[in-house]
């Protein structure tokens, strides 16, 4: 690829990444407007409305052969089935929590969990794959550990929402890598396996005719939720394809920043005693971001970007 085309591709990748983060934040902000639906019902509608669009994306990207290959593996190795179900469960918990939290005044702890996630991934790489930590990563880990210790010492507990996000996602990603499903086909299968549970949640909720009759705004909001979910995934895949890994990882910090902004817009506030926790974790993330900026600039100088 010549240099002008490479620059254009990178610009498109940056726009796609930022747009994906912005759409995730819009979904976060949209969630309270879906009341009187509860978190599990919103999750159910999201999966039911997203699966057709995700299937279309799979078809457009010509990745059906990967689905067939995965099905053939399952036929040869039936013991993969419980592991694939576990993968779908781990992702389903995250998708449910993402929409449940703003509905229940817990948007801020979940946003903080997304701030902790890059640090958790760094530690996962060290503990599971033996990856070496850079100096910035060591500092970031130490600062985050101090923040967690402060919160635990203050309350003798730790927000379960933060724990689910920051610990659950690394387990999910490691499992997908071990299963060889870390691609769009694997994600599609995870969503498909959630469909029966999603349909059950929708069925257990208010009768559809009664629900939409009493709250006509849901005619527009629920399809919008499905559309945003599918579009954000498509943009995320485009950004992953067009951007160097370092720049792609650096832009992933945009999402938790926007989630914190949304939480504050929804009326949640950081208590005075929580600021040391938030400050230390934000400082830890700043270390990783600074390291990412330095790496990207070095790649630009050497012509690797």
pLDDT tier at 198, thresholds 50, 70, 90:
very high
Rounded to an integer, what distance in angstroms lies between the CA atom of residue 174 and that of residue 143? 24
Instruction: Return the percentage of the chain with pLDDT > 90, whole number.
Output: 40
Give the model confidence (pLDDT) of 57-72 as tens digits.
Answer: 889 888 899 999 999 9
Instruction: Judge whether 25 and 74 are in contact, CB under 8 Å.
Output: no
1 pLDDT above the threshold of 70: no
pLDDT tier at 220, thresholds 50, 70, 90:
very high
Query: Global pTM?
Result: 0.86
- Number of neighbouring beta carbons within 10 Å of residue 128: 14
242 pLDDT above the threshold of 60: yes
258 pLDDT above the threshold of 60: yes
Give the model confidence (pLDDT) of 120-153 as tens digits.
Answer: 888 888 888 887 878 888 888 888 888 888 877 8
Average the pLDDT over 85-113 and give the result. 93
């Amino acid at each position: 690829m010549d240099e002008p085309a490479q620059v254009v591709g990178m610009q498109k990748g940056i726009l796609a990444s930022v747009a994906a983060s912005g759409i995730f934040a819009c979904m976060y902000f949209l969630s309270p407007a879906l009341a009187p639906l509860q978190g599990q019902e919103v999750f159910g509608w999201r999966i039911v409305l997203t699966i057709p669009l995700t299937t279309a994306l799979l078809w457009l990207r010509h990745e059906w052969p990967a689905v067939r290959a995965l099905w053939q593996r399952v036929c040869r190795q039936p013991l993969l089935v419980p592991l694939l179900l576990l993968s779908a469960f781990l992702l389903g918990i995250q998708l449910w929590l993402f929409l449940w939290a703003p509905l229940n005044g817990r948007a801020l702890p979940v946003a903080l969990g997304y701030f902790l996630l890059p640090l958790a991934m760094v530690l996962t790489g060290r503990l599971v794959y033996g990856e070496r930590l850079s100096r910035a990563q060591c500092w970031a880990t130490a600062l985050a550990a101090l923040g967690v210790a402060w919160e635990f010492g203050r309350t003798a507990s730790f927000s379960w929402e933060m724990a689910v996000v920051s610990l659950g996602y690394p387990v999910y990603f490691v499992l997908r890598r071990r299963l060889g499903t870390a691609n769009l086909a694997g994600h599609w299968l995870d969503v498909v396996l959630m469909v029966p549970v999603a349909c059950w949640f929708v069925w257990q909720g208010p009768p559809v005719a009664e629900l939409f009759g009493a709250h006509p705004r849901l005619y527009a909001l629920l399809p919008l939720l499905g559309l945003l979910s599918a579009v954000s995934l498509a943009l995320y895949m485009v950004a992953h394809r067009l951007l160097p890994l370092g720049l792609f990882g650096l832009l992933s910090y945009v999402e938790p920043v926007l989630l914190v902004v949304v939480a504050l817009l929804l009326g949640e506030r950081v208590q005075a005693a929580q600021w040391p926790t938030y400050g230390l974790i934000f400082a830890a993330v700043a270390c990783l971001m600074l390291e990412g900026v330095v790496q990207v600039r070095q790649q630009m100088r050497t012509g690797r970007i």
